[in-house]
């Protein structure tokens, strides 16, 4: 067995767990232990499982709701500047986003407790997440400028972004309350390495007809950028100790937070299951290495103004510097180190599944765990069909995705799940997941947005997950 | 099972990427055109009449907008538009000179406006791209304004609040990329 595991580990090199924020293929795919990470209240029948330590997860996901690589760089003979103007500058809206997530799972294992109706899971993963909305008016200013745009307000609120890097230590409890209900919770401690957010900006820049001079330029700003850890990492890079600083901040040496995942599965009857979970209901309190920047105020200028005879009073007056000082007084750019709280991007999942077809034999060892068996598990059927809802809290409000899925089990050795998902990235997102069980070895591959593989450059969203676990049902 | 493996393999491995031309990145051009007021000067006729000499105002003043590094390194062309309005009873001359940091005159624009009633004098001076040298703009660090009375120093216009007013705005294209 050890040789087999070693071979598998070497073969895969790394157990990659690539996932977007929406893990609709993994959700309620309870053959896979990682489904506990998206619903701590999922129905589990494992005795224990373990991901390969340090090799159990590397993930990357990126999505762009407004534009694809192909839109700009297709070899189509169209001037790239025309494409940028028509497809990006004018074609995208401020609600379009570019977002990315990665996850590196360092430890993940679970075991059934002395009370066999309780399953524990715990581990540690590293996560990075960032989102930036299309800063449309900034882009128009940068590309076209403000000439010939009299009275057009450039919305400074178009700058909305947030991002973070952190380690998450977690411990989950999954409890089968009775034959119908399973509940679960996962406590999380966040160790923030880096955080930045600028999400509550408002204001505008506008050029209007001047009162005295030809034009009046007005800025009205209420902007803030909050960061923690950035200065520390920047200094560490200069000092050549980036890795150790990164590690230290990720192991409780940075800013800390707490959170919780909650979930349940409820069987209306043998064939109909309702599930729901809320993930990352938590926050991080940033007190260490905080650097925040604000730009607040309002000012209107009409160039250097020399009004006689007043200007004769001080012949040495520096009108230009006065103008600069006036702007800085009315719209001060300030820095501070005040502590702040950042809330994690909370996710909500829910599903309703109807099972049908043949019942499958149980995988649980029938010679032990009597109490565990006594409550009984809902029978597993060869087919399952249903719908899922996903929501995530984002800087511009909640985002939602709806999925329809079909699950097919081929004995206890293989299960296939396919999904069709509609969200802001795509209306044609078809995903396919495959779970294989070869003795104790569990391998799964989940691929999202498969139609985009016809031309990856034209894809606005892609997600691929695969992983490797060792699972025991008590008879391995 | 094998067929399912193959299905996955085919989907993932047979994914395609249509031909992309990333050399287009080098062709991306950012040339915003910025517009803002530059200089506003006004003097009432009463002040002009009180001046002991015809040259009633002459002053150099610091103006760093054009030679700020970001602007000076990227400006490629543009223009300055002047509007000169004279509601006084006398002919006036306003001279605007751009000076570098050694006080060398780089450019001079003279506006002679007849006594009121007279239309607003509008003049646009182009720099770069066939106009005057854009180096004038890049090197300007101060502006000299000289205003002279070419008429008498006793008359008063019938118009309300008679004065000489010079308004100006700049419109410049920057080569950001």
pLDDT at A393 (0 to 100): 86
Asked if residue A384 has pLDDT above 90, the reply is yes
Asked if residue A430 has pLDDT above 80, the reply is yes
Cβ partners under 8 Å of residue A307, min gap 6: B40, B41, B42
Per the listing, tokens 């007809």 go with A209
Chain A nearest-CA distance from B5, in A, is 9
Q: Select from A36, A117, A56 the least CA-distant residue to A279.
A: A36
Confidence of residue B3 (pLDDT cuts 50, 70, 90): low
Asked if residue A3 has pLDDT above 50, the reply is no
Q: Select from A38, A22, A23 the least CA-distant residue to A263.
A: A38
Could you tell me which chain B residue has the CA closest to the CA of A306? B41
Region B145-160 average pLDDT: 93
Q: Find the range with the poorest average confidence among A350-354, B2-6, B26-30, B116-120.
A: B2-6
Cβ distance of A214 and B37 shorter than 8 Å: yes
| Whether the Cβ atoms of residue A468 and residue A52 lie closer than 8 Å to each other | yes
pLDDT at A464 (0 to 100): 76
Burial B81-110 (b: 16+ CB within 10 A, else e): bbbbbbbbbbbbbbbbbbbbeeeeebbeee
Region A268-274 average pLDDT: 92
- Between A455 and A35, residue with greater pLDDT: A35
Asked if residue A7 has pLDDT above 70, the reply is no
| Alpha carbon distance A171, A188 (integer Å) | 7
Cβ distance of B59 and A434 shorter than 8 Å: no
DSSP letter (8 states) at residue A323: H
Region A353-368 average pLDDT: 77
Cβ-Cβ pairs closer than 8 A, A with B, add up to 166
Asked if residue B128 has pLDDT above 70, the reply is yes
* Structure confidence by residue, pLDDT tens digits, B48-92: 999 888 888 999 989 999 989 999 999 999 999 999 999 999 999
Burial B119-129 (b: 16+ CB within 10 A, else e): eebeeebebbe
Confidence of residue B15 (pLDDT cuts 50, 70, 90): low
What value does the mean pLDDT of chain A take? 87
Return the residue in A78, A299, A320 with the most chain B beta carbons within 10 A, the one to mutate for interface testing.
A320
* Structure confidence by residue, pLDDT tens digits, A127-186: 998 999 999 999 999 999 999 999 999 999 999 999 999 999 999 999 999 989 999 999
Confidence of residue A10 (pLDDT cuts 50, 70, 90): very low
Residues of B in contact with A73 (CB under 8 A): 20-22, 24-25
Asked if residue A9 has pLDDT above 70, the reply is no
Q: Quote ipTM for the complex.
A: 0.89
Query: Of all helices (H) and strands (E), which one includes residue A364?
Result: none
pLDDT at B51 (0 to 100): 86
Select the residue of A74, A213, A216 nearest B20 (Cβ to Cβ).
Answer: A74
pLDDT at B16 (0 to 100): 67
Chain A nearest-CA distance from B62, in A, is 6
Residues of B in contact with A319 (CB under 8 A): 61-63
Beta strands (DSSP E) in A210-346 are 215-228, 255-267, 272-286, 290-301, 304-307, 333-336, 340-343
Per the listing, tokens 């019942």 go with A359
Asked if residue A52 has pLDDT above 80, the reply is no
Residues of A in contact with B25 (CB under 8 A): 73, 80
Q: Find the range with the poorest average confidence among A53-57, A70-74, A180-184.
A: A53-57
pLDDT at A454 (0 to 100): 73
- Between A71 and B89, residue with greater pLDDT: B89
| Alpha carbon distance A117, A240 (integer Å) | 50
What value does the mean pLDDT of chain B take? 90
Asked if residue A19 has pLDDT above 70, the reply is no
Residues of B in contact with A302 (CB under 8 A): 37, 40
Query: Of all helices (H) and strands (E), which one includes residue A198?
Result: strand A181-198
pLDDT at A18 (0 to 100): 32
Asked if residue B133 has pLDDT above 80, the reply is yes
pLDDT at A370 (0 to 100): 46
DSSP letter (8 states) at residue A35: G
Residues of A in contact with B143 (CB under 8 A): 304
Select the residue of B35, B57, B65 nearest A308 (Cβ to Cβ).
Answer: B57
A354's tokens: 């109807």
| Alpha carbon distance A19, A103 (integer Å) | 8
pLDDT at A147 (0 to 100): 95
Asked if residue B107 has pLDDT above 90, the reply is yes
pLDDT > 90 in chain B, percent:
75
The 3 state secondary structure assigned to A395-435 is CCEEEEEEEEEEEEEECCCEEEEEEEEECCCCCCEEEEEEE
Asked if residue B11 has pLDDT above 60, the reply is no
Select the residue of B20, B42, B169 nearest A214 (Cβ to Cβ).
Answer: B169
pLDDT at A165 (0 to 100): 96
Residues of B in contact with A212 (CB under 8 A): 40, 42, 167
Chain B nearest-CA distance from A87, in A, is 14
Cβ partners under 8 Å of residue B69, min gap 6: none
């Amino acid at each position: 067995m050890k040789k087999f595991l070693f071979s598998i580990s070497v073969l895969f090199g790394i157990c990659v767990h690539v996932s977007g924020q929406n893990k609709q293929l993994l959700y309620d795919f309870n053959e896979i232990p990682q489904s506990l990470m998206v619903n701590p209240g999922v129905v589990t029948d494992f005795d224990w499982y373990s991901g390969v330590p340090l090799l159990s997860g590397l993930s990357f996901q990126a999505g762009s709701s407004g534009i694809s690589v192909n839109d700009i760089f297709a070899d189509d003979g169209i001037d790239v500047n025309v494409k940028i103007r028509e497809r990006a500058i004018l074609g995208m809206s401020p609600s379009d986003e570019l977002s990315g997530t990665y996850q590196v799972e360092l430890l993940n294992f679970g075991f059934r407790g002395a009370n066999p109706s309780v399953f524990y899971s715990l581990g540690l993963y590293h996560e990075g997440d960032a989102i930036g909305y299309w800063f449309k008016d900034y882009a128009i200013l940068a590309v076209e400028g403000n000439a010939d745009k009299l009275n057009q307000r450039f919305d400074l609120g178009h700058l909305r972004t947030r991002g973070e890097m952190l380690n998450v230590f977690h411990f989950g409890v999954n409890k089968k309350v009775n034959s119908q209900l399973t509940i679960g919770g996962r406590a999380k401690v966040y160790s923030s390495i880096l955080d930045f957010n600028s999400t509550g900006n408002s204001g505008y820049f506008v050029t209007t007809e001047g009162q005295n001079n030809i034009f009046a330029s007005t800025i009205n700003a209420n902007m803030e950028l909050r960061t923690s850890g950035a200065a520390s990492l920047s200094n560490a890079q200069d000092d050549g100790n980036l890795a150790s600083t990164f590690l230290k901040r990720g192991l409780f040496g940075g800013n800390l937070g707490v959170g919780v995942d909650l979930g349940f599965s409820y069987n209306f009857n043998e064939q109909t299951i309702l599930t729901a979970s809320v993930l990352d209901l938590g926050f991080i309190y940033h007190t260490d290495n905080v650097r925040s920047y604000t730009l607040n105020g309002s000012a209107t200028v009409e160039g250097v103004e020399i009004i006689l005879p007043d200007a004769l009073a001080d012949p040495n007056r520096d009108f230009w510097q006065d103008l600069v000082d006036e702007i800085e007084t009315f719209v001060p750019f300030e820095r501070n180190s005040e502590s702040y709280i950042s809330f994690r991007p909370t996710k909500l999942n829910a599903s309703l599944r109807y099972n049908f077809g043949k019942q499958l034999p149980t995988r649980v060892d029938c010679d032990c765990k009597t109490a565990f068996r006594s409550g009984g598990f809902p029978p597993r059927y060869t087919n399952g069909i249903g719908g899922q809802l996903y929501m995530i809290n984002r800087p511009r409000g909640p985002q939602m995705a709806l999925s329809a899925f079909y699950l097919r089990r081929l004995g206890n050795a293989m299960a296939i799940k396919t999904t069709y998902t509609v969200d802001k990235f795509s209306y044609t997102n078809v995903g396919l997941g495959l779970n294989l069980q070869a003795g104790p070895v569990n391998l799964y591959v989940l691929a999202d947005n498969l139609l985009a593989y016809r031309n990856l450059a034209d894809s606005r969203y892609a997600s691929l997950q695969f992983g490797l676990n060792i699972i025991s049902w008590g008879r391995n | 099972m094998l067929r399912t493996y193959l299905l996955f393999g085919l989907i993932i491995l047979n994914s395609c990427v249509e031909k992309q031309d990333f050399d287009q990145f080098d062709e991306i051009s950012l040339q915003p055109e910025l517009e803002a007021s530059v200089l506003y000067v006004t003097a009432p006729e009463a002040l002009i009449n009180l001046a002991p000499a015809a040259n009633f105002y002459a002053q150099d003043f610091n103006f760093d907008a054009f030679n700020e590094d970001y602007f000076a390194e990227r400006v490629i062309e543009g223009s300055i538009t002047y509007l000169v309005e004279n509601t006084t009873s006398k002919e006036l001359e306003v001279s605007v000179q751009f000076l570098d940091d050694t006080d060398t005159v780089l450019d001079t624009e003279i506006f002679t406006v007849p006594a009121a009633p007279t239309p607003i004098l509008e003049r646009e001076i182009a720099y770069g791209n066939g106009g005057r040298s854009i180096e004038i703009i890049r090197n300007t660090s101060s502006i000299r304004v000289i205003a002279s009375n070419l008429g008498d120093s006793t008359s008063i216009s019938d118009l309300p609040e008679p004065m000489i007013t010079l308004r100006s705005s700049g419109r410049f294209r920057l080569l950001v990329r």
